[in-house]
Amino acid sequence: MTGPDDHVRPLLGAYVLGQLGPDEATSVRAHLDGCAACREEAAALGSVADLLPLVDLERLEAPPEPPPPELLDEVLSRIEEQQASATHARRRASAIRGGIAAVAAVLVLVAALVLSSPAEGGGEVVAMTASEAGVQGEAVVHDDPDATWVELTTSGLSPGETYAVWLEETGTEARAPMGTFTAVDGDLYISLYSTLPRDRAGSIGVSDADGSTVMEAPLPVV
């Protein structure tokens, strides 16, 4: 027996990626206006889709191998664990499996790229000081000839909220933006670049949508 929203759930993955035609997108939006469950699923998929711009294709020397099926299963299992009840979670995870598969595969690729980089390229590990209890951050700072490359690990930030990463120039209050990210439950790994040379960068920080600094750390003098 199918429910009234079974025809919409398989479309949610394509909807958050902007891949539906005008008629289908209008139909999905109309359904989301009246369906809290589908709105919640669309929001969860949207948080994952927000990570897609963080993939730096220029760093890929060869096409990556597809992630093994067990990694996708682990991602989906975490989604299930976060639902209100085990029975409800299994039903919802099964319904969104098709829509989230491609997005989850890219999320695994983003994490794999960042996690493998410190071992290959070294870098300075900097522990960040957070303004709120439970929030943690660590940056691995690399030197490029005309830029600064940072690998940032965060946890404890509010899931679904957008945060900005920046470098502050030594001796000034000028901040060079590095990009934004959307926080998720658990650890988040991202890789960012700034055109500010490493020898001019005095500190690194993360701000919330209101511009308040949530974590910051001074960088070692080069």
Model pTM above 0.85? no
C-alpha–C-alpha distance, residues 167 and 129, integer Å: 15
The boundaries of the domain holding residue 86 are 9-119
Pseudo-torsion of CA 107, 117, 140, 202, nearest 10°?
-100
Residue 144 and residue 78 share a domain: no
C-alpha–C-alpha distance, residues 147 and 143, integer Å: 7
The beta-carbon contacts of 72-80 under 8 Å, at least 24 apart in sequence, are 72/101, 72/104, 72/105, 72/108, 75/100, 75/104, 75/107, 75/108, 76/100, 76/104, 78/185, 78/186, 79/44
Burial class (CB in 10 A: 0-12, 13-18, 19+), 11: buried
Q: Is residue 46 assigned to a domain?
A: yes
The domain that holds 130 is classified in CATH as 2.60.40.200
Q: What is the pLDDT of residues 20-79, one digit of tens each?
A: 888 888 888 888 888 888 888 878 777 776 666 666 656 555 555 666 666 666 766 666
Count: domains in the chain? 2
Sign of CA dihedral 118, 119, 121, 127: positive
Residue 211 and residue 170 share a domain: yes
184, amino acid identity: V
Q: What is the pLDDT of residues 177-216, one digit of tens each?
A: 989 999 999 899 998 888 888 888 899 999 999 999 999 9
Looking at 119, 141, 159, the residue that finishes a domain is: 119
